Amino acid sequence: MDGRADTFETLLAACAGGDRMALRRIFDAEAGRLIAVAQRIVRRRELAEEVVQEAFIRIWTHAHQYDSSQGSARGWIYAIVRNRALNLVRDGRRETVIEDVEAVQEQESSDAIMAAWHRLDRNSRLYGCLEALDEKKKRGILMAYVGGYSHGEIAGRLSLPLGTTKSWIRRGLTALRECMA
Amino acid sequence: MRFARNDIPDIADDYVLGLLETAQAEEVEAALPHDAQLKAAVAASRERFLPLDTAAEPVATDTLLWQRIETALPAQPGPGARPKPAPANDNPGAKAGHGWRTTAIAAMAASVLLVAGLAASLMRTVDPVVVAVLLNEAGEVQAVVEDFGNENATVRLLADFEVPSDKTIEVWTLPSKDTGPVSLGLLDGIRSARLAGPALPRPKDNQLYEITLEQAGGSPTGRPTGPILAKGYAQLPR
């Protein structure tokens, strides 16, 4: 894993130096997964590809700003994709889908969130610490991180008042930090 | 803005999960570069949740997506980048304009000193209209061109070049995009030289000069066709 992290760091440095093959290698290694991550948030495949396309250009233009104080290079790359996807749904583009399609996508999104949970390594600390939370806290955190839902959207889907939802998620996140510390 | 220290872990988690309003997220992004504690908290939060992303099942990608990305990539700028002129090279293999990442600040500083020194030394004789310091792709000073604007220019080589026996170094300038690159002449061997080029408009500030490796006798097309050894932009001696 360390060798891999080093590789992404090296590839980012090469991107900053103008090496397009380095960006291509990041694309080959991660694009399929990054599209999947973006699609969990923006729902539609073509929007997810748009997000990843913009993200790769940003990775290219901002590679010189990366340093290890910002965490792993791989995490930095994923954060760029996540931020672009979140910006897109915050701009309201997710809400433009017609209603019956929305119902289908809602189910698919719920499935995608559970799939992310089930694919998580059972031996990882994240799995163990999320598993230790109440079901609703765990669910709320996964809906936010994996599905890109806002507090309001989570409250609606969990049928909880907004204030209650916020404090549940807050407490869940605090417990998760303590558990993983 | 500066966030209360106690709130930082919560803010970092909310930011990473995407739970902040757009305006709040922008405040976090603005504060990140200056707030080491916030930066560390965001980094730690990202790493905590990253396994949910890296465990995602990859979807199939097609090369069209890569092609769209690649065509949209700008050339890498760098600190103190100058505007790039149109590439003055017909050889696609030479990839003019690509990879000519703006040079290290140290190299630029060295160039400025060099120009200043040259300009000072030239005060004693005839002043060139412009001086161009030519750098290689790594940003190292390779040569200096002084263009006197009277069909005379000198090239001083400041690095060792490997020139095969069937090749020659040719000096070029780009008086304007309309004119395209114009040869100032060939170097006889690998040494500094005085060139008698064609009559050209008076050289301008920021005019491009470059040296390329061409076949013996000079470029067959009248345009640069070989690899660029070094290039740089003219500056007016002050």
Separation CA A180–CA A4 (nearest Å) = 22
Contact: A145, B60; criterion CB under 8 Å:
no
Q: Which of A40, A42, A39 has its CA nearest to residue A87?
A: A42
Residue-wise pLDDT for B147-160, tens only, equals 888 778 888 888 88
Structure tokens at A43: 């729902």
Separation CA B123–CA B146 (nearest Å) = 13
**B159 and B111, same structural domain?**
yes
Supply the pLDDT for residue B82.
35
Question: Is the CB of B151 inside 8 Å of chain A's CB atoms?
Answer: no
Question: Is the CB of B75 inside 8 Å of chain A's CB atoms?
Answer: yes
Top pLDDT among A95 and A181 is at A181
Scan for tokens 């922008």, then name that residue.
B26
**B228 and B167, same structural domain?**
yes
Supply the pLDDT for residue A110.
78
Q: How confident is the model at residue B105 (pLDDT cuts 50, 70, 90)?
A: low
SS3 content of chain A, % helix, strand, coil (to 5): 85, 0, 15
Residues of A in contact with B47 (CB under 8 A): 71-72, 75
Arithmetic mean of pLDDT over chain B = 80
**B40 and B136, same structural domain?**
no
Scan for tokens 């390779």, then name that residue.
B142
CA B26 from centroid of its chain's CA atoms? 31
CATH number of A2-90: 1.10.1740.10
Q: Which of B148, B233, B158 has its CA nearest to residue B196?
A: B148
* Closest Cα in chain A to B75: A18
Is the confidence at residue B40, as pLDDT, over 90? yes
- Pairing status of strand B141-147 against strand B182-186: unpaired
Q: How confident is the model at residue B96 (pLDDT cuts 50, 70, 90)?
A: very low
Structure tokens at A7: 């590789």
Give the least confident one: A57-66, B42-51, B200-209. Answer: B200-209
Pick the CATH number of A98-180 from 3.40.50.1100, 1.10.10.10, 3.90.1200.10, 3.30.1950.10: 1.10.10.10
Q: Is the dihedral of CA A135, A139, A141, A146 positive or negative?
A: positive
* Closest Cα in chain B to A31: B61
Scan for tokens 């990882």, then name that residue.
A124
Separation CA A102–CA B61 (nearest Å) = 25
Question: Is the CB of A4 inside 8 Å of chain B's CB atoms?
Answer: no
The rounded percent of chain B whose pLDDT value lies above 70 is 79
Residue B65: CB partners within 8 Å, gap ≥ 6? Answer: A31, A49, A52, A53
- Determine, yes or no, domain membership for B83: no
Q: How many helices (H) and strands (E) does chain A have?
A: 9, 0
Is the confidence at residue A90, as pLDDT, over 90? no
| DSSP conformation class of B150 | S
Contact: B65, A126; criterion CB under 8 Å:
no
The residues spanned by each domain of chain A are: 2-90, 98-180
**Interface subset of A 11-50, CB within 8 angstroms of B:** 15-18, 20, 23-24, 27, 31-33, 35-37, 39-41, 45, 49
Q: Is the dihedral of CA A109, A112, A118, A121 positive or negative?
A: negative
Write down the ipTM of this complex. 0.91
Residue-wise pLDDT for B63-94, tens only, equals 899 999 999 998 876 544 434 344 445 454 44
**A108 burial level (CB within 10 Å; 0-12, 13-18, 19+):** middle
Question: Is the CB of B83 inside 8 Å of chain A's CB atoms?
Answer: no
Contact: A144, B101; criterion CB under 8 Å:
no
Supply the pLDDT for residue A92.
65
The stretch B136-150 carries a mean pLDDT of 85
The rounded percent of chain B whose pLDDT value lies above 90 is 27
The strand pairing partners of B230, in sequence order, are B211
Query: Is there a contact between B144 and B132 (Cβ–Cβ < 8 Å)?
Result: yes
The stretch A71-89 carries a mean pLDDT of 95
Separation CA B229–CA B209 (nearest Å) = 11
Q: How confident is the model at residue B112 (pLDDT cuts 50, 70, 90)?
A: low
Q: How confident is the model at residue B30 (pLDDT cuts 50, 70, 90)?
A: very high
Look at residue A128 and give its three-state secondary structure. helix
The stretch B177-192 carries a mean pLDDT of 82
Residue A28: CB partners within 8 Å, gap ≥ 6? Answer: none
Supply the pLDDT for residue A104.
60
- Determine, yes or no, domain membership for B199: yes
Query: Best-predicted range by mean pLDDT among A22-26, B123-127, B193-197?
Result: A22-26
**B96 and B50, same structural domain?**
no
Give the least confident one: A37-41, A50-54, B119-123, B193-197. Answer: B119-123
Rounded to 5°, angle at Cα B213 from B207 and B217: 105
Q: Which of B32, B62, B65, B69 to mutate to test the interface with A (most CBs of A within 10 A)?
A: B69
Structural domain harbouring B100: 92-235
Separation CA B33–CA B40 (nearest Å) = 11
**B139 and B23, same structural domain?**
no
Residues of A in contact with B22 (CB under 8 A): 87, 90
- Cα R_g (chain B), whole angstroms: 25
Residues of B in contact with A176 (CB under 8 A): 48
Question: Is the CB of A162 inside 8 Å of chain B's CB atoms?
Answer: no
Give me the CATH number covering residue B204. Answer: 2.60.40
Residues of B in contact with A24 (CB under 8 A): 66, 70
Supply the pLDDT for residue B121.
54
Q: How many domains does chain B have?
A: 2
Separation CA B139–CA B165 (nearest Å) = 26
Please give the full DSSP string across B210-237, using - where no structure is assigned: EEEEEETTS-TTSS--S-EEEEEEEE--
**B222 and B107, same structural domain?**
yes
Separation CA B214–CA B235 (nearest Å) = 26
Top pLDDT among A137 and B222 is at A137
Q: Which of B120, B116, B147 has its CA nearest to residue B131?
A: B147
